[in-house]
Structure 1
Amino acid sequence: MSTPLSELPIRRLTKDDLVSCSNLSEDRGWPREEHKWGLLLTAGTGYGIDDPAGKGLVTACVVTPYGSGLAAIGMMLVAERFSRQGIGRRLMKHVLEEAGDTPLTLHATPYGQPLYKELGFADIGRAEMVRGCLRAPEADTSTTVTTRPATAEDLQAVLRLDAEAFGLDRTHMITRLPAFADHFRVAEEDGVLTGYAAAWPNMETHVVGPLIARDTETAKALISSLSAETDRPLRTDIDVRHEELIAWVKEHGLETIAFNAVMTHGIPDLPGDWTRRFAPLSVAVG
């Protein structure tokens, strides 16, 4: 007799589950994203339920902690053959129990949003996913934003800048960027860093994230400089409040492909300074 779904054990995932997690992504019609899964399973805590028939994972998600101030939930997936049977809700309830008093955040697709609302998450914003090849902007003599490749000597300044904009210490994520990303650039003025951005490989695209900048002109300069270093299309998820930047990337070749709701649990809004936080490292980790 088969074990009821409600009794299947929930276990911690490790990097040894990389292929199984990628298979689960593929099962739901998502890209395999093995590079991203590798980061998530080493920097965060993965949870999953195994198929008792030995056919991989029934469901999985990853929680990326930022101390006791916040944790991000990402890659919440349920195998197609087990969809609409309550297994995703069970895993999410387990994650909420494990989190205790730690506030949570996630980016929700329209499909997943109703479940998260049932579990007490609230909408606090939206992110617009854009994709395409950036057409080189015409030279703008009114701005003099300087960007360059990041060096090891920039790391402490990048961490300080990131903590101000993100509102919490995410050293364990940012210090992984030089190895995780193909391109990592900073903007500076008079020797002071005013922004930074990375572009990391995801299937046929380069994802721009994080994108932290003093202002919109700095964000534009960072995106332009990253685009100049790759032949791949760019993809990024921009906070919809950054209307000027969204309009600019669309004017230069990127197109909207999706909207995700930004949601929180146990906290009315995200910490930090959203005016300098243009795009997350990934929607899976904030």
Structure 2
Amino acid sequence: MATDIRVMATLRRMTPADLPTAHDLSREAKWPHRIEDWEMMLALGDGQVAVIDDTVVGTALTWRFGADTDPAKAATIGMVIVSPAAQGMGIGRRLMEALLGEVAGRSVMLNATEEGLPLYRKLGFVETGAIVQHQGAAFAVPVAELIPGERVRPLGAKDDDTLHALARAATGMDRSALLDAIVPGAQGVMLTRENEPVGFALFRRFGRGYLVGPVVAPDAGGAKALISHWLGSNAGAFCRLDVPEDSDISEWLEELGLPQVGRVVTMVHGPVPVTDPTTRLFSLTTQALG
């Protein structure tokens, strides 16, 4: 019977008409994404869906960073979901193989749940770290202790190129198109030291509440100054951050009232993107987008 169903499952490109069903699948998986989050992610990338009897039973999305001629061209894969009723039929593997074919020649990254790890390992992904999810409502956030010459200021109209450069340094990827898409719908601040921009943080609607990310800074102290700005000015709001496990800010977030509620494994297929050690990513745009 399983063989018959596997033959019946077909793959095709995801379209905006698939988003309501995709949203239902993510809710079934207890993921917090709103339909607006799905719309944004599909607009920025490409997706595949698995269909049985005209019903979407699986999804997967990919996003390209950098032109095909960029030596540092990369991609991420996320929102890989298979309905519980259709699991065990090889659908997840077929979706992944389809997307890997589309981004062949690029370094490909993803953040894997415990359930997805065996498949991704079989496909050639290797572990490079982990991301821990913090969420909650901070009601009393101390004013950040800035070092001499340090300042947190609002993003300006002329900061786009600086954001692009800082994001590329921190991730090893050209994130310009992503930032250009999300900045207009977000609030943002820049961290400067001696009037030189060294980091930034965005604050925007996502899932159950708000997301602080991406956050780029030269060190944990700078990241705390940026994050404190958003948590302090939105006291009591439900906020989420997805931070690298080795970022040295998890314990601090716990103390502020944002406990760790989840963990995913960061994996790469191909070379690891080369980042600038003086500029670090302290909170992701989303787990799927990186």
Tell whether the structures are fold-level matches, with TM greater than 0.5. yes
How far apart, in 2, do the equivalents of 1:272 and 1:238 lie?
16
Aligned to 1:34: 35
Query: Does 2:33 match 1:25?
Result: no
Deviation at 1:139, TM superposition (A): 5.6
Tell me, yes or no, if structure 1 residue 246 matches structure 2 residue 250: yes
Q: TM-score, normalised by structure 1?
A: 0.90
Maintained 8 Å contact 2:163/2:200: yes
Q: Which moved more, 1:142-151 or 1:222-231?
A: 142-151
Q: In structure 1, what is the Cα distance between the partners aligned to 2:94 and 2:153?
A: 46
SS in 2 for 1:152: coil
Deviates more, 1:200-209 or 1:131-140: 131-140
* Structure 1 residues 224-277: Cα deviation after superposition (integer angstroms, max 9, x where no partner): 11113324222111111112x22221222211101110000122x233136511
1:119 equivalent to 2:123? Answer yes
Say whether 1:65 aligns with 2:70: no
Cα distance 1:46–1:10, how it changes in 2: closer, same or farther (>3 A)?
Answer: same
Number of aligned residue pairs: give it. 281
Whole-angstrom distance in 2 between the partners of 1:41 and 1:89: 20
What amino acid is aligned across from residue 127 of structure 2 in structure 1? D
Q: Does 1:156 align with 2:161?
A: yes
Report the alpha carbon displacement of residue 141 of structure 1 after superposing the two structures with TM: 6.5
For residues 130 and 149 of structure 2, the distance between their equivalents in structure 1, rounded to whole angstroms, comes to: 31
How far apart in 1 are the matches of 2:168 and 2:65?
11
Secondary structure of the residue aligned to 1:234 is strand
Residue 170 of structure 1, aligned match among 175, 183, 192: 175
Please report how far the alpha carbon of residue 107 of structure 1 lies from its aligned counterpart in structure 2 after TM superposition. Answer: 0.2
Equivalent position SS for 2:274: coil
Once residues 59 and 26 of structure 1 are traced to their aligned partners in structure 2, the CA distance between those partners, rounded to angstroms, is 13
Structure 1: stretches of 5+ with no match in the other structure = none
Superposition map of 1:201-280 within 5 A = 201-230=205-234, 231-243=236-248, 245-267=249-271, 269-273=272-276, 276-280=280-284
* 1:164-222 alpha-carbon deviations (Å, 9 max, x no partner): 212121111011122333x2221123332111111221233211111101221111111
1:3 shift after superposition:
6.8
Is the CA contact (8 Å cut-off) linking 1:11 and 1:49 kept in structure 2?
Answer: yes
Choose the corresponding residue for 1:190, options 180, 190, 194. Answer: 194
> For residues 78 and 180 of structure 1, do their structure 2 counterparts lie closer, same or farther at Cα, with a shift above 3 Å needed?
farther
In 2, Cα distance between the equivalents of 1:153 and 1:99? Answer: 32
SS of aligned partner of 1:47: strand
1:145 and 2:138 equivalent? no
Q: Could you tell me how far apart the structure 1 residues matched to 2:194 and 2:143 are? A: 24
Secondary structure of 2:32's counterpart equals coil
Displacement after TM superposition at 1:20 (Å): 2.0
When residues 239 and 140 of structure 1 are mapped into structure 2, their CA distance, relative to the original with a 3 A threshold, is same
Instruction: Supply the AA of the counterpart residue of 2:29.
Output: R
- The answer to whether the Cα contact below 8 Å between 1:73 and 1:105 also exists between their aligned partners in 2 is yes
In the alignment, is the contact (CA less than 8 A) between 2:49 and 2:58 conserved in 1? yes
Distance of 1:20 and 1:137 partners within structure 2? 42
Letter in 1 for 2:239: L
1:15 aligns with 2:16: yes
1:17: how far off? Answer: 2.5
Does residue 1:75 correspond to 2:79, yes or no? yes
Q: Distance in 1 between matches of 2:283 and 2:264?
A: 13
1:176 partner amino acid? A
TM-aligned CA deviation for residue 138 of structure 1: 5.0
Closer, same or farther: CA 232–100 of 1 in aligned 2, 3 Å: same
Letter in 2 for 1:237: D
Aligned partners of 2:4, 2:185: CA distance in 1, in Å?
A: 39
Deviation at 1:97, TM superposition (A): 2.1
Structure 2 unpaired stretches of 5+ = none
Scaled by the length of structure 2, the TM-score of the pair is 0.89
| Identical amino acids, percent of aligned pairs | 29
